[in-house]
């Protein structure tokens, strides 16, 4: 299995292109299943998760081709509304086929996702929402079976503005009979783009970007093309490295999507400037400790919590980082402590006491964003870091070593068996 090696403390400089957003492209791909016809999606990041979703598209019968960031999905041939355990267990976002395939076929069978490295991650909001739309839901041998001749518009009030449930229900409701209102909807840019895409396909969704979505059901959707928004989480990961190691520019971003993140980097002492489509960050002389609490958009994203903890390990003082979205998401902490960091976790808060330096160490990836925090720490640490289980990184980061190498980092990948 591949490992990533880093010889740390190299100064970073130059610019890097940010890829399309993983969390935007995955639901867009499943939305394309709702139409008969060929949809072309551009700026698609070549990630393990994208490839897994393409496999799932093909299993349900879609015809796909993927080359140079351009993905074509033909939904005309879709004929098998079933997402098997083998795929769902490797990528929970497979659950995004639930709403679209139910809407199109009146029946869908999707493996129930299990827990994951950061807690139980239930899907009850998705299922309750579909039930409210009139679906009959049963559980059979680990699979959710949802059935409905035609879904019926209704009012749904989410207990929490879940990204996945908002996306799934918006897709299902797009072709329901009558109007659906989703209260407490997620407002993440990836959900905004999904709703805008559905509208391009012929859906009628109002209130996009607010907590109240109004969806007037239409008979059918047609295929449509779309260019995926840039990945704000990949961008935030590069900002964390820039804050510690030099001056770098991220191109092809939407700075507005990073507003709360940029604010925090400024508080740390970094110089951050933006243009309409780029962000430049210059290393802080001294990393100031900044407490941070994750929140739903427009708050600080939970997907950057691990990278923030990595940054704070080198702050001149103590900080508290609380995750209100995923309470158990701290598997990176024991690994970061292997670099000599001083972090303790109590409930959903990491207490970080800044240290003078990190020292490279062998560490292990546990999930996508935890892995990213290990790369940030490894880049800043003295000496060599060896990261194993890097398939987690490949799920969500496109060419991460190449990108960091182009900025001056000494980072490479090796398969120790070859």
> Does position 326 bind ligand UD1 by CB under 6 A?
yes
Which run of H or E residues covers position 271?
strand 271-274
Which run of H or E residues covers position 204?
strand 204-206
Instruction: Tell me the window of 65-73, 75-83, 134-142, 162-170 that interacts with ligand UD1 (CB under 6 A).
Output: 162-170
Backbone angles phi, psi at 90, to 5 degrees: -90, -20
Omega prior to 271 cis, within 30 of 0: no
CB of 15 to ligand UD1, least distance (A): 26
Inter-helix orientation angle 189-200/163-174, to 10°: 10
Distance of CA 385 to the CA centre of its chain: 25
Whose Cβ is closer to ligand UD1: residue 310's or residue 380's? 310
CB of 369 to ligand UD1, least distance (A): 8
Neighbouring C-beta atoms of residue 51, cutoff 10 Å = 14
Which run of H or E residues covers position 56?
helix 48-59
> Does position 89 bind ligand UD1 by CB under 6 A?
no
Whose Cβ is closer to ligand UD1: residue 121's or residue 150's? 121
Instruction: Tell me the window of 3-11, 57-65, 70-78, 123-131 that interacts with ligand UD1 (CB under 6 A).
Output: 123-131
Nearest residue (beta carbon) to ligand UD1: 164
CB of 22 to ligand UD1, least distance (A): 7
Q: In sequence order, what are the residues at sequence separation of 6 or more whose Cβ sits closer than 8 angstroms to the Cβ of residue 402?
A: none
**How far apart, in whole angstroms, are the C-alpha atoms of residue 217 and residue 203?**
7
Instruction: Tell me the window of 28-36, 80-88, 101-109, 121-129 that interacts with ligand UD1 (CB under 6 A).
Output: 121-129
Q: Reply yes or no on whether 116 is catalytic.
A: yes
Among 19, 175, 180, 302, binds ligand UD1 (CB under 6 A): 302
Contact in structure between 368 and 307 (CB atoms under 8 Å): no
Closest CA to 385 of 368, 362, 404: 362
Among 93, 156, 170, 306, binds ligand UD1 (CB under 6 A): 93
Distance of CA 314 to the CA centre of its chain: 26
Whose Cβ is closer to ligand UD1: residue 68's or residue 347's? 347
> Does position 308 bind ligand UD1 by CB under 6 A?
no
Closest CA to 272 of 250, 291, 298: 250
Instruction: Tell me the window of 156-164, 170-178, 213-221, 313-321 that interacts with ligand UD1 (CB under 6 A).
Output: 156-164
CB of 326 to ligand UD1, least distance (A): 5
Rule CB under 6 A: which residues touch ligand UD1? 23, 26, 93, 121-126, 160, 162-165, 190, 302-303, 325-326
Which residues are designated catalytic?
116
């Amino acid at each position: 299995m591949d490992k990533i090696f880093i010889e740390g403390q190299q100064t970073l400089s130059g610019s890097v292109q940010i890829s399309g957003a993983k969390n935007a492209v995955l639901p867009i791909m499943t939305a394309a299943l709702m139409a008969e016809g060929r949809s072309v999606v551009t700026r698609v990041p070549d990630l393990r998760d994208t490839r897994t979703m393409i496999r799932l598209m093909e299993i349900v019968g879609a015809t796909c081709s993927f080359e140079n960031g351009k993905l074509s999905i033909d939904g005309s041939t879709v004929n098998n509304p079933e997402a098997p355990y083998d795929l769902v267990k490797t990528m929970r976002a497979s659950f995004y086929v639930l709403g679209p395939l139910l809407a199109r076929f009146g029946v869908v069978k999707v493996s129930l996702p299990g827990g994951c490295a950061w807690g139980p991650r239930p899907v009850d909001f998705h299922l309750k929402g579909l039930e409210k739309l009139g679906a009959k839901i049963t559980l059979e041998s680990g699979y959710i079976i949802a059935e409905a001749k035609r879904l019926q518009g209704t009012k749904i009030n989410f207990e929490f503005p879940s990204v996945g449930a908002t996306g799934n229900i918006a897709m299902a409701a797009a072709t329901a009979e009558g109007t659906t209102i989703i209260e407490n909807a997620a407002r993440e840019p990836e959900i905004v783009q999904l709703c805008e895409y559905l509208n391009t396909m012929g859906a009628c969704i109002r209130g996009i970007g607010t907590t109240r979505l109004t969806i007037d059901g239409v008979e059918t959707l047609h295929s449509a093309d779309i260019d995926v928004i840039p990945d704000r989480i990949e961008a935030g990961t590069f900002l964390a490295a820039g804050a510690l190691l030099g001056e770098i520019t991220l191109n092809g971003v939407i700075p507005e999507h990073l507003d709360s993140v940029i604010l925090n980097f400024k508080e740390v002492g970094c110089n951050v400037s933006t243009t309409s489509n780029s962000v430049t960050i210059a290393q802080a002389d001294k990393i100031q400790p900044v407490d941070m609490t994750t929140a739903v958009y427009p708050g600080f994203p939970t997907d950057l919590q691990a990278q923030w903890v990595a940054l704070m390990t080198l702050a001149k003082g103590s900080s508290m980082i609380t995750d209100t979205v995923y309470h158990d998401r701290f598997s990176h902490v024991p690994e970061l402590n292997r670099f000599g960091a001083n972090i303790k976790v109590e409930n959903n808060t990491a207490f970080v006491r800044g240290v003078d330096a990190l020292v490279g160490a062998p560490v292990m990836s546990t999930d996508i964003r935890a892995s990213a925090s290990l790369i940030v720490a490894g880049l800043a640490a003295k000496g060599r870091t060896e990261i194993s289980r890097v398939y987690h990184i490949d799920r969500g980061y496109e060419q991460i070593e190449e990108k960091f190498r182009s900025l001056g980092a000494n980072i490479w990948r090796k398969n120790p068996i070859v």
